[in-house]
Amino acid sequence: MSTRLEARFRDCAAQGRAALVTFITAGDPDFDTSLSLLKALPAAGSDVIELGVPFTDPMADGPAIQAAGLRALKAGQTLKKTLAMVRAFREGDATTPIVLMGYYNPIYIYGVDRFLVDALTAGVDGLIVVDLPPEEDEELCLPALRAGLDFIRLATPTTDDKRLPAVLANTAGFVYYVSITGITGAATADPQAVGQAVARIKRHTGLPVAVGFGVKTPEQAAAIAAGADGVVVGSALIDALRGTLDAEGHATPATVPAVTGLVGALAEAVRGVRRQAAE
């Protein structure tokens, strides 16, 4: 039986296109607005959802996602509430994959065994934990895989052929290729370099490769979609959300539509790029 992630990437490949992977921060700017947005993403065109788990020290994230995490924490978001959000989403959507993305500390404090049970029960499909390298696989990666959760690893422009097998060894679901060096949202990706990097990674794995960091506009998404199995957009969506908040940082009636409108434009751009289904 295939996982939701396997099924979704397979369906997109069969349609001859890349998947659109969208990132939002759980609880940004508040629980109810965030849940409304989460529920609206699939209809807007999101194929896979990355749900950021707010953390006080998000060292891999750029200013936009850091600020989103702080807004969420200020509004009382916790890992427990993030799992509750996934459960509520699953009441109306049994097929869209959800990947939790964040850092190890909140999971460690929650308790690994308890977290894995609760995440699986809530309807989480995979995990991206950016501060656990392959050398720490016993901490969370291997227990997650045994529990039935995909553990998605990041590869970067500095991940050479010697390092790549270690990165890919226990990766499941898809490989997340970070198209630029540095933090999220800080620069834009070079589609030609990305295409070459994806091809290199695919020589080492049969998993889909999704490309993120530095993809902000529909045009950039389309360019990346030509050479990748998935296109990840995060900071641009967070920026769209932030631009609708009132002076106190609270949601307005424009908040959810601003994000879903951009997702719709990104989805249209990605779907307009035809790829070989056999890739």
HSE (CB half, 13 Å, CA atoms) of 71?
Answer: 28
pLDDT of residue 92: 97
CATH topology of domain 4-271: TIM Barrel (3.20.20)
pLDDT of residue 265: 98
Contacts of 86 (CB under 8 A, 6+ apart): 51, 98, 100, 119, 122, 123, 124
Segments of the chain with pLDDT less than 50: 277-279
Q: Do the bridges between strand 150-151 and strand 98-102 make them parallel or antiparallel, or are there none, so unpaired?
A: unpaired
Catalytic residue among 30, 47, 61, 137, which?
A: 61
Model pTM score:
0.94
Q: Is 61 a catalytic residue?
A: yes
pLDDT of residue 278: 38
Q: Is 57 a catalytic residue?
A: no
Catalytic residue among 50, 125, 137, 239, which?
A: 50
